């Protein structure tokens, strides 16, 4: 900028030449439309009205100015928005963060009304939902829990437990035995060694095992030395397709009369009839260290695919869950070399579900659990009476459709007058017929009891 000579600066009146020079210099330094100023410093200015580069200054309709770069020393007060954002509102949120706070800390970020990216696996979708914007995106989460209890990571929210009678509520055959089925759907298999199986009751109000269960399963094993001897408790789940090629999680509560190990094994059987593939044993073998106190155990297993396998024609293929209590050395590969041992083994609340997370035990109603058990074993009471001396056939029906045409066994002949039982025949999965022969008119049979078994 050119120098302007003033009277005060000179100390005497200006000459005509000095006045002309001042006008010339002012004319050369003025700013016009289209001029570019590389640098301009205004120490203090009060502009009210007029324009700069076509922008209205002051007045009722202020224009908008665009700056390539601006440096401001001091405070800027804005009553509107900056870049479309409400500075006053956002500033109030930021005031909630303490001075010098770590902005990578979720607590501080939450105080500002924001979300941490690390808290979510699909931050874009969740932000869109949080803003109330319609979206077809579905946020996904690595894991969710309610009151500390995890939700299923796969499969359905209900009917997720593939184990039937996992709470040991149903005992149609009785409450004690020495082998085979005692609690419904649970088979104690022995070779050489012996066992005593009983239903045991939880103390009312106990809290060691949650959910106030009524019963648990007890197996007292007496081990007999032998490389092929064993004792195990198992359940066969209908259909070998169950969890095939998927991850599944088994959970259960257990204790023993002293510190003892048991082994858990999964097995796939492709059934019988025709030319089925050989069974696959030793799946997910896991050692569980029991103590005298109830503990919850969780076993997650990758169930093998059944691609390329052949099913038998008898429709009796299954996935088996095996609890090994006693095992001779020939079974080392299937039991993690468990070895032989005697002892008392208690099992409660067994659950098998899809995914890699053990959720709380799923309680079904007693009626629903009984119906599930009756698909494999049921008890029925046929009766018949004939008005004349002759044979009499009367139909009977099972409580539910059974898995296969069952094997019938007479438990009690009941009482009879002038009649005798000729037999009972199951001719379908729905029921069959009961036959008596009467030696006199009005002969009858009452109170007969039969069992029907279609176990795997």
In angstroms, rounded to a whole number, what is the distance separating the alpha carbons of residues 78 and 64? 14
Give the 3-state secondary structure of residue 16: helix
The answer to whether residues 269 and 405 belong to one domain is no
Residue of 305, 354, 411 whose CA lies nearest to 161: 354
Residue of 421, 398, 430 whose CA lies nearest to 172: 398
Rounded to the nearest 10 degrees, how much is the dihedral formed by the CA atoms of 242, 244, 249, 255?
70
The answer to whether residues 354 and 396 belong to one domain is no
Whether 141 maps to a domain, the answer reads no
The percentage of residues in the chain with a pLDDT greater than 90, rounded to a whole number, is 63
Do residues 235 and 185 make contact, with C-beta atoms less than 8 angstroms apart?
A: yes
Query: Lowest-confidence range among 87-96, 99-108, 116-125, 409-418?
Result: 116-125
Give the 3-state secondary structure of residue 17: helix
Q: How confident is the model at residue 405 (pLDDT cuts 50, 70, 90)?
A: very high
The answer to whether residues 202 and 262 belong to one domain is yes
The answer to whether residues 189 and 317 belong to one domain is yes
| Domain containing residue 327 | 176-366
Whether 357 maps to a domain, the answer reads yes
For the segment 429-448, what is each residue's pLDDT rounded down to a tens digit? 999 999 999 999 999 999 99
The answer to whether residues 203 and 347 belong to one domain is yes
Q: How far apart are the first and last CA of the chain?
A: 104
For the segment 325-366, what is each residue's pLDDT rounded down to a tens digit? 999 999 999 999 999 999 999 999 999 999 999 999 999 999
pLDDT at residue 244, rounded to an integer: 98
Residue of 230, 221, 217, 232 whose CA lies nearest to 184: 217
Q: How confident is the model at residue 247 (pLDDT cuts 50, 70, 90)?
A: very high
Question: Domain boundary at 334, 366, 398, which?
Answer: 366
The percentage of residues in the chain with a pLDDT greater than 70, rounded to a whole number, is 72
Average pLDDT value for residue range 30-59: 55
The answer to whether residues 233 and 263 belong to one domain is yes
pLDDT at residue 17, rounded to an integer: 82
pLDDT at residue 211, rounded to an integer: 96
The token pair at 160 is: 């997720």
Average pLDDT value for residue range 290-316: 98
Residue of 399, 406, 456, 455 whose CA lies nearest to 428: 406
The answer to whether residues 307 and 388 belong to one domain is no
The answer to whether residues 279 and 302 belong to one domain is yes
Whether 379 maps to a domain, the answer reads yes
Angle at 18 between CA 16 and CA 23, to 5 degrees: 95
Phi/psi at 346 (nearest 5 deg)? -110, 135
Task: Kindly write down the DSSP assignment for every residue of 190-219, as one continuous string.
Answer: EESSEEEEEEEEPPTT--SSTT---EEEEE
pTM over 0.85: no
Whether 11 maps to a domain, the answer reads no
Whether 183 maps to a domain, the answer reads yes
The answer to whether residues 320 and 409 belong to one domain is no
- pLDDT over 90 (residue 83): no
Whether 143 maps to a domain, the answer reads no
Domain count, the chain: 2
Tell me the three-class secondary structure of 259-301, residue by residue.
CEEEEEEEEEECCCCCCCCCCEEEEEEEEEEECCCCEEEEEEE
Do residues 396 and 372 make contact, with C-beta atoms less than 8 angstroms apart?
A: no
In angstroms, rounded to a whole number, what is the distance separating the alpha carbons of residues 274 and 314? 8
The answer to whether residues 180 and 202 belong to one domain is yes
The answer to whether residues 273 and 395 belong to one domain is no
Whether 441 maps to a domain, the answer reads yes
327 Cα distance to chain centroid = 33
The token pair at 69 is: 């770069």
Question: Domain boundary at 346, 366, 386, which?
Answer: 366
In angstroms, rounded to a whole number, what is the distance separating the alpha carbons of residues 59 and 415? 112
The answer to whether residues 192 and 308 belong to one domain is yes
pLDDT at residue 73, rounded to an integer: 73
Residue of 183, 145, 192 whose CA lies nearest to 328: 192
Do residues 410 and 449 make contact, with C-beta atoms less than 8 angstroms apart?
A: yes
Question: Domain boundary at 345, 366, 387, which?
Answer: 366
pLDDT at residue 10, rounded to an integer: 78
Q: Is the dihedral of CA 342, 346, 352, 357 positive or negative?
A: negative
Residue 439's CATH number: 2.60.40
Phi/psi at 336 (nearest 5 deg)? 55, 40
Residue 351's CATH number: 2.60.120.260
Beta bridge partners of 343: 221
- More confidently predicted of 73 and 136: 73
In angstroms, rounded to a whole number, what is the distance separating the alpha carbons of residues 432 and 380? 11
For the segment 379-393, what is each residue's pLDDT rounded down to a tens digit? 999 989 888 888 889
* 396 CB-near residues (< 8 Å, 6+ apart): 380, 382, 424, 431, 432, 433, 434
Whether 56 maps to a domain, the answer reads no
Indicate the DSSP class of residue 279.
P
Do residues 264 and 365 make contact, with C-beta atoms less than 8 angstroms apart?
A: no
């Amino acid at each position: 900028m050119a120098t302007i000579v003033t009277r005060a600066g000179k100390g005497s009146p200006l000459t005509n030449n000095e006045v002309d020079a001042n006008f010339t210099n002012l004319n050369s330094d003025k700013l016009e439309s289209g001029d570019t100023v590389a640098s301009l410093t205004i120490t203090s200015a009060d502009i009210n009205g007029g324009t700069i580069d076509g922008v209205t200054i002051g007045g009722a309709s202020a224009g908008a100015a665009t700056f390539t770069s601006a440096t401001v020393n001091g405070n800027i007060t804005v009553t509107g928005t900056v870049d479309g954002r409400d500075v006053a509102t956002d500033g109030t949120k930021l005031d909630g963060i303490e001075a010098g706070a770590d902005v990578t800390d979720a607590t501080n970020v939450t105080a500002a009304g924001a979300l941490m990216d690390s808290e979510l696996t699909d931050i874009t979708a969740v932000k869109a939902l949080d803003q109330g914007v319609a979206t077809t995106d579905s946020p996904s989460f690595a894991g969710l829990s309610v009151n500390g209890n995890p939700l299923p990571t796969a499969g359905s929210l209900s009917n997720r437990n593939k184990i039937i009678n996992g709470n040991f509520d149903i005992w149609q055959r009785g409450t004690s035995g020495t082998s085979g089925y005692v609690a419904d759907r649970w088979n104690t298999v022995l070779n050489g060694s012996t066992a005593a199986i009983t239903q045991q009751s939880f103390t009312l109000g106990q809290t060691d095992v949650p959910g106030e269960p009524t019963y648990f399963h007890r197996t007292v094993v007496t081990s007999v030395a032998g490389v092929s001897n064993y004792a195990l408790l198992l359940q066969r789940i209908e259909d070998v397709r169950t969890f095939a090629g998927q991850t599944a999680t088994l959970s259960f509560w257990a204790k023993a009369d002293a510190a003892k190990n048991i082994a858990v094994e999964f097995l796939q059987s492709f059934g019988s009839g025709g030319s089925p593939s050989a069974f696959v044993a030793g799946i997910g073998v896991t050692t569980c260290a029991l103590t005298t106190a109830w503990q919850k155990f969780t076993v997650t297993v990758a169930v093998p695919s059944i691609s390329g396998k052949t099913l038998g024609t008898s429709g009796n293929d299954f996935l088996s869950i095996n609890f090994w209590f006693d095992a001779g050395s020939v079974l080392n590969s299937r039991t993690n070399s468990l070895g032989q041992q005697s002892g008392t083994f208690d099992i409660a609340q067994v659950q098998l579900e899809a995914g890699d997370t053990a959720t709380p035990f799923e309680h079904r109603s007693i009626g629903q659990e009984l119906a599930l058990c009756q698909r494999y074993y049921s008890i029925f009471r046929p009766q018949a009476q004939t008005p004349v001396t002759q044979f009499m056939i009367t139909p009977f029906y099972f409580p539910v459709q059974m898995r296969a045409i069952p094997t019938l066994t007479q438990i009690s002949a009941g009482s009879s007058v002038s009649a005798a039982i000729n037999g009972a025949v199951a001719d379908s999965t729905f029921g069959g017929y009961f036959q008596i022969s009467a030696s006199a008119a009005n002969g009858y049979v009452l109170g007969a009891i039969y069992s029907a078994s279609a176990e795997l």
